[in-house]
Amino acid sequence: MYNFTIDATAPKSELYAELARAADALTDGEPDAVANMANVAALLWEYLPDVNWTGFYRVVDGALVLGPFQGKAACIRIPFGKGVCGTAAQTGETQLVEDVHAFPGHIACDANSASELVVAVKHDGRIIAVIDLDSPSLNRFDAEDAKGIELLALVIADRI
Ligand code: SME
């Protein structure tokens, strides 16, 4: 059993520093990518307030394929350039979407999702996956969330 003392109500910078430490501890020395993504998805699900989906899409043969996650069952395959995740995978740039309904091509996996944050995970200069967070609240994610998830992506980049 893992016990983390993470205060979900702490300021975001502290919360994400704690989450990065916990993700590091959970994945340290574990070579199995699925196990590591599953634990990180669970960590984000447990400690991030106001989210309805946390998880991974992996780059497989030039498209995104659903990886370990928490939340409702989701679309399995997303082409590069499509939706929020496909845009992050194509550009490598973090996608911070205040209102998913205003994002051209947004793929609605859960009708409750209102805002979304997607961060590319890069390893050896290649994009290998994206981390996707959805929220039922508009404008749930800000630059601090983006920075926090980008830090997490760096921590786990060679473990997934
Ligand atoms: N909304 C995403 C699809 C993935 S689900 O949110 C889990 C998108 O537009 O890429």
pLDDT digits (tens, 9 = 90+) for 44-90: 999 999 999 999 999 999 999 999 999 999 999 999 999 999 999 99
The verdict on residue 20 lying in a domain is yes
Ligand 1 centre from 84 Cα, in Å? Answer: 6
Q: What is the CATH number of the domain that holds 143?
A: 3.30.450.40
The verdict on residue 89 lying in a domain is yes
The verdict on residue 105 lying in a domain is yes
Beta bridge partners, 64, equal 59, 78
Q: Which of 66, 119, 132, 141 to mutate to test the pocket of ligand 1 (most atoms within 8 A of CB)?
A: 132
For 89-125, what is each residue's pLDDT tens digit? Answer: 999 999 999 999 999 888 988 889 999 999 999 999 9
Instruction: Confirm if 51 and 134 have CB atoms less than 8 A apart.
Output: yes
Instruction: Confirm if 15 and 7 have CB atoms less than 8 A apart.
Output: yes
Which is the closest atom of ligand 1 to the Cα of 86? Answer: 10
Which is the closest atom of ligand 1 to the Cα of 107? Answer: 9
Q: Hey, which bits of 13-60 come out as E strands?
A: 53-60
What is the Cα–Cα distance from 124 to 137, expressed in whole angstroms?
Answer: 35
Ligand 1 centre from 14 Cα, in Å? Answer: 27
Total structural domains in the chain?
A: 1
Domain that holds residue 20: 12-159
